[in-house]
Structure 1
Amino acid sequence: MISADSIPLLFIVLILFLIHMTKLMFRSIHKNGRSVPQLPPVPPHGPSPVVSCPVAHRWLCARMLHQRPTFRWIHRLMKEMDTDIARFRLGNVRVIPVTCPEIAREFLKKHGAIFSSRPTSMATRIYSGGFLTTILSPYSDQWKKMRRVIVSEIISPKRHHCLQGRRTEEADNLVKYIYNRSESSSRTVNLRTVARQYPGNVIRKLMFGKRCFGEERADDGTTVAEEEHIEAIFTILNGHERFVEEATRTVNNYHDPIIDSRIGKWRRFGNSNQEFTSDEPHDLLDVLITLIDAEGKPLLTPEEIKAQVTEIMFATIDNPSNAVEWAMAEMINQPKILETAMDELDRVVDKERLVQECDIPHLNYIKACIREAFRLHPIAPFVPPHMAMSDAIVAGNFIPKGSHVLLSRMGLRRNPKVWNKPLEFRPERHLTSDCTEVQLTEPDLRFISLSIGRRGCVAPLLGTTMTVMLLTRMVQGFYWKASLDVKSINLDESLEDMFLADPLVTQAKPRLPLHLYP
């Protein structure tokens, strides 16, 4: 006999039971009655919320708080789960990390339209100028507009060819700077500084027509301004929200006066401005300023120009610098690899001239070294997140609308199902009999270099050119070895990111006829 006092309690139990059954049915039954796939798997104790931690999940929250950065415990848990796709809840966000090439291709190729948006955050809002740019802005008409500008006007083959002379100037300046350091009393070269400043010098020359914000140094080394500029860009790339605003302000303090002055000149005088010797834009900033719409009005606002200039800067600096620093560290530790690379350059280019961009198609071993650096030592653990604009079924998994999909550079590069001895630096693995020319892109996503799909890298040619020229000029021009009293380079990763734990400091010795050094 059920007492009247127990009826409310039974009613509550019944409601809870019905809610539980409804959740189970939702996971297994579609609205039209057909069965649908499950959500991706979660860790044994749930999807691990970070902000609100129920008692059942406190153990995992404690692990997460003491195992930063986040990407390391995500990959550790996925390895423990033995899964290539998983589901975590970070705060109120559902995060789907992926470490399998086949699943990654399905996200970016088969379902590319659904996953072509980006999530928003305070940090991305700041350094995209309020989502005015291409890389980190959500899918929108603004994104499509800016992407058209970049593809058709900034990185077109014609524009790339026209600016070749400026890139060559910076390649010559690179050799000059290293030569001057090699002739100093210590003969030491900080390759992290060199590897970061070279692409910075190149993109400043392409964007502003000059490599320095002030007076150039006689040895073509960096000034305090350029060092501060690059440091701020890498702070932005690290994405720490409390530092992003200040770093973005630092970058803008260097960019904005140049941009405002140039906009003023073009708006007042146009092509009649005596400072311009032809009707053609002189650099990429001129291109952005002089674009017009169907009514003959400026296509881009000053705010759009400033935001896109900043984004182009940090999009072109990170990958080349990180890949080449790691490649040089690995090659110095394995002298046979370094010797093979030098032999290829001597054979293809010889020692009577400096390597040029026209040589790049023929330098397959050098490019294999760079591919291996991209594979084994990516710039970041994940690509920028893709956000689902609608529900989707990917590789048999139900991906709800709003999920943040993280394609893992770490997981793809070290996947033992894909790579033999994945932790070893072996450039030869990229030299296959059916490959006539080695490319730095990887369309099959066995690792991620320049990404693919609608939100992939739009400038693979520029990225390839800058990376290969940086490494080839170093390898061709100099003999390299570890600093004195150092038997081999420490190849440990930084605990907080994917960079080499310690900046690569080496010794350099010229190996070409002296007249080739600028």
Structure 2
Amino acid sequence: MAILADMFGAGIDTSTVTVEWALAEILVHPHILQKAQDELEAIVGSTRLVRESDIPDLPYLTAIVKETMRLHPVLPLLVPHTTMQDCQVSGYDITRTTQAYVNVSAIGRDPTVWDDPLLFLPERFLASDIDVRGQHFELLPFGSGRRACPGLALGLSNVHLMLANLLNAFKWENLAEVDLSEKFGIVMSLANPLVAKATLKVPTHVIDGKDSA
């Protein structure tokens, strides 16, 4: 029970923080918001909620999620790792059982890997096959290999569906200047919570779960 509680707790916290980062960046860049909502209108429309089966047909939304996880990984150092045997990395001798941290925040902002790494540019992923599932070391929000996050599939599904439905069902308006300052910790969240106005733009019955499709 304790292990399952930890897994669900970690999945909920990290997913909501990721969605908040995505919304914050989108509100700072209105053209991104418009482009994402245009895509959702074309694929999903206003008569139903976004479903998991819609996600493969929403490449720009997927690019937004990838860019959010690159620039604002919620676990900037992942979980602690331990070396299983003596090894050498970049000329340094690393002994067995050494605790190691992978700084995915620094990797995601490395100018030798990414063009304009501090800019929020979802378009960089539209013509790229880089994924977040641990096969591309430029982007490792879930880690990789046997120590990758066991909730990867659940987390991706949660983030895509929550963000897609928030963007498709509501109009968004800033109530104050968006502060993108980071609160660094085990989970890296916004230093100040996002404050924005959401106005329903789909029929009420859609939100009630009585969609027509």
TM-score by length of 2: 0.90
Measure, in 1, the Cα distance between the counterparts of 2:25 and 2:188.
15
Matched, 1:448 2:140: yes
1:403–1:440 distance in 2 versus 1, CA, 3 Å: closer
1:222-271 C-alpha deviation (Å, 9 max, x unpaired): xxxxxxxxxxxxxxxxxxxxxxxxxxxxxxxxxxxxxxxxxxxxxxxxxx
1:196-216 C-alpha deviation (Å, 9 max, x unpaired): xxxxxxxxxxxxxxxxxxxxx
Q: 1:500 aligns with which of 190, 197, 202?
A: 190
What residue identity is the alignment partner of 2:44? V
Q: 1:472 aligns with which of 164, 174, 185?
A: 164
What SS does structure 2 have at the residue aligned with 1:470? helix
Measure, in 2, the Cα distance between the counterparts of 1:504 and 1:421.
25
Pairs within 5 Å for 1:419-430: 419-430=114-125
Measure, in 2, the Cα distance between the counterparts of 1:307 and 1:513.
41
1:178-208 C-alpha deviation (Å, 9 max, x unpaired): xxxxxxxxxxxxxxxxxxxxxxxxxxxxxxx
Q: 1:372, 1:426 within 8 Å by CA — same for their partners in 2?
A: yes
Where is the strand percentage greater, Structure 1 or Structure 2?
Answer: 2
What residue identity is the alignment partner of 2:152? P
Measure, in 2, the Cα distance between the counterparts of 1:309 and 1:361.
29
Pairs within 5 Å for 1:405-420: 405-420=100-115
Measure, in 1, the Cα distance between the counterparts of 2:204 and 2:2.
43
What residue identity is the alignment partner of 1:410? S
Shift of 1:311: 2.2
Pairs within 5 Å for 1:125-164: none
Q: 1:477, 1:511 within 8 Å by CA — same for their partners in 2?
A: yes
Shift of 1:492: 1.1
Q: 1:332, 1:481 within 8 Å by CA — same for their partners in 2?
A: yes
Pairs within 5 Å for 1:394-409: 394-409=89-104
Measure, in 1, the Cα distance between the counterparts of 2:6 and 2:205.
38
Q: 2:113, 2:138 within 8 Å by CA — same for their partners in 1?
A: yes
Aligned residue number for residue 514 of structure 1 = 204
Aligned residue number for residue 126 of structure 2 = 431
Measure, in 1, the Cα distance between the counterparts of 2:204 and 2:79.
45
Matched, 1:366 2:61: yes
Structure 2 unmatched ranges of 5 or more: 209-213
Measure, in 2, the Cα distance between the counterparts of 1:495 and 1:363.
31
Matched, 1:308 2:3: yes
Measure, in 1, the Cα distance between the counterparts of 2:123 and 2:60.
8
Measure, in 2, the Cα distance between the counterparts of 1:421 and 1:441.
23
Measure, in 2, the Cα distance between the counterparts of 1:480 and 1:425.
19
Q: 1:355, 1:472 within 8 Å by CA — same for their partners in 2?
A: yes
Measure, in 1, the Cα distance between the counterparts of 2:44 and 2:164.
11
Matched, 1:355 2:50: yes
What residue identity is the alignment partner of 2:49? L
Q: 1:440, 1:464 within 8 Å by CA — same for their partners in 2?
A: no
What SS does structure 1 have at the residue aligned with 2:13? helix
Measure, in 2, the Cα distance between the counterparts of 1:381 and 1:353.
35
Shift of 1:396: 4.1
How many corresponding residue pairs? 207
Aligned residue number for residue 230 of structure 1 = none
1:157-186 C-alpha deviation (Å, 9 max, x unpaired): xxxxxxxxxxxxxxxxxxxxxxxxxxxxxx
Aligned residue number for residue 74 of structure 2 = 379
Q: 1:390, 1:402 within 8 Å by CA — same for their partners in 2?
A: yes
Larger radius of gyration: 1
Measure, in 2, the Cα distance between the counterparts of 1:469 and 1:396.
44
Where is the helix percentage greater, Structure 1 or Structure 2?
Answer: 1
Measure, in 1, the Cα distance between the counterparts of 2:13 and 2:137.
19
Measure, in 2, the Cα distance between the counterparts of 1:320 and 1:370.
11
Q: 1:318, 1:379 within 8 Å by CA — same for their partners in 2?
A: no
1:304-334 C-alpha deviation (Å, 9 max, x unpaired): xx22222222331232111110110010111
Measure, in 1, the Cα distance between the counterparts of 2:44 and 2:203.
14
Measure, in 2, the Cα distance between the counterparts of 1:461 and 1:404.
27
Q: 2:183, 2:191 within 8 Å by CA — same for their partners in 1?
A: yes
What SS does structure 2 have at the residue aligned with 1:451? coil
CA RMSD of aligned residues (A): 1.8
Shift of 1:439: 4.6
Matched, 1:388 2:94: no
Q: 2:108, 2:117 within 8 Å by CA — same for their partners in 1?
A: yes
What SS does structure 2 have at the residue aligned with 1:424? coil
Measure, in 2, the Cα distance between the counterparts of 1:334 and 1:380.
24
- If asked which structure has higher relative contact order (CA below 8 Å, sep 6+), I would say 2
Aligned residue number for residue 211 of structure 2 = none
Pairs within 5 Å for 1:232-271: none
What SS does structure 1 have at the residue aligned with 2:183? coil
Structure 1 unmatched ranges of 5 or more: 1-305
Pairs within 5 Å for 1:6-25: none
Q: 1:369, 1:427 within 8 Å by CA — same for their partners in 2?
A: yes
Measure, in 1, the Cα distance between the counterparts of 2:47 and 2:61.
19
TM-score by length of 1: 0.38
Measure, in 2, the Cα distance between the counterparts of 1:326 and 1:479.
17
